[in-house]
């Protein structure tokens, strides 16, 4: 695996691949594939996976594990790797094994490969859109349930960056936290105490909606600030006010049409929930050879 953020260790991803694939096969195969039994058990088949569109490939390990768990003797030879740009008509891999096994593994394997390639491709399009500005594209916690680490890996494959993994590894103080705490200053003070009491908090970030709140956050010692739904003019001013003393992250109403202009305000990061929330599967096809 080429694209591993520090928090996405190889061991952690290996455990996640096993968990994801086991769950996928349990829900799909259950007590056994009835349709595959139409094919004699001793028939050996070969197949290829073909791309139907330009995209970023991602999910090869999940795909391979699906076939290996159904039949360890299945052979897969990859012609491309995670993070590669793939093109229409390109052969991505060749597969050989029992026909029954290939037919049973096909859908679960393609589900992972198509979905994760979709996430990686979307991250790639966003990173290409802001190239040269210095701004980083960042994912969020708006992920498909049970597939967070897989999707964050896909974002990294597409050139994006991972935000916090979950509620357990960093603090992001949002509007409701501020309201519950009483003020920005009170929320920041409490956050520092919580972070100091544990050894797993990577950062403290606070969300602001106005330039006045930005000033309050800076006065409270904030070093990472999320600018929520600000206008381009407000973001320009926020960059000028901050003068590099805090990392600024833009969020809200980000699209491929708007992301370049947001990046050009000088913000450091742009978070895009749609990278992992609104996923369009890449068009891939597996075909058995005659």
Marked catalytic residue, from 52, 69, 96, 107: 107
Marked catalytic residue, from 79, 142, 148, 202: 142
**In the annotation, is 33 catalytic?**
no
**In the annotation, is 31 catalytic?**
no
Cβ-contact 185, 220 below 8 angstroms: yes
Q: Which residue has the tokens 């349930």?
A: 145
Q: Give the chain's radius of gyration (CA, Å).
A: 22
Q: Which residues pair with 96 in a beta bridge?
A: 46, 75
Q: Which residues pair with 226 in a beta bridge?
A: 207, 249
Per the rule left: phi > 0, alpha: psi between -120 and 50, beta: everything else, 132 is: left
**In the annotation, is 174 catalytic?**
yes
61-79 as b/e: b if 16+ CB within 10 A = bbbbbbbbbbeeebebebe
Tokens matching residue 110 = 């393609």
Marked catalytic residue, from 82, 207, 213, 249: 207
Tokens matching residue 289 = 């050879």
Nearest to 235 by CA among 224, 246, 227: 227
Task: For the chain, give the number of residues.
Answer: 290
d(C-alpha 103, C-alpha 168), whole Å: 40
| Number of Cβ within a 10 Å radius of residue 110 | 19
Task: Give the H/E segment covering residue 62.
Answer: helix 60-70
Beta carbons within 8 Å of 23's beta carbon, 6+ residues apart = 146
Marked catalytic residue, from 54, 73, 128, 174: 174
d(C-alpha 265, C-alpha 76), whole Å: 47
**In the annotation, is 207 catalytic?**
yes
Marked catalytic residue, from 228, 249, 268, 269: 228
Active site residues: 107, 142, 174, 207, 228
């Amino acid at each position: 695996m080429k694209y591993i953020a520090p928090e996405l260790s190889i061991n952690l991803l290996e455990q996640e691949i096993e968990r994801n694939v086991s769950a996928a096969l349990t829900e799909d195969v259950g007590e056994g594939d009835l349709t595959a039994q139409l094919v004699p058990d001793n028939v050996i088949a070969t197949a290829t996976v073909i791309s139907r569109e330009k995209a970023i490939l991602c999910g090869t390990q999940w795909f391979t594990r699906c076939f290996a768990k159904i039949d360890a003797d299945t052979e897969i030879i990859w012609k491309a790797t995670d993070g590669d740009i793939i093109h229409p008509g390109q052969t991505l891999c060749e597969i050989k094994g029992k026909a029954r096994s290939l037919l049973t593994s096909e859908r679960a394997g393609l589900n992972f490969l198509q979905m994760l390639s979709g996430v990686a491709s979307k991250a790639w399009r966003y990173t290409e859109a802001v190239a040269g500005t210095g701004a980083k594209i960042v994912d969020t916690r708006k992920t498909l349930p049970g597939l967070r680490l897989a999707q964050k890996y896909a974002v990294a494959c597409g050139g994006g960056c991972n935000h916090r993994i979950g509620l357990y590894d960093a603090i992001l103080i949002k509007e409701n936290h501020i309201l519950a705490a009483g003020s920005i200053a009170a929320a920041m003070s409490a956050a520092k105490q919580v972070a100091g009491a544990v050894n797993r908090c990577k950062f403290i970030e606070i969300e602001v909606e106005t330039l006045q709140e930005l000033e309050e956050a800076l006065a409270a010692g904030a070093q990472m600030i999320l600018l929520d739904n600000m206008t381009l003019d407000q973001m320009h001013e926020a960059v000028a006010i901050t003068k590099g003393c805090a990392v600024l992250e833009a969020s809200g109403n980000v699209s491929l049409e708007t992301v370049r202009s947001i990046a050009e305000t000088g913000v450091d990061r742009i978070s895009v929930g749609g990278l992992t929330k609104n996923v369009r599967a890449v068009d891939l096809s597996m075909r058995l050879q005659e």
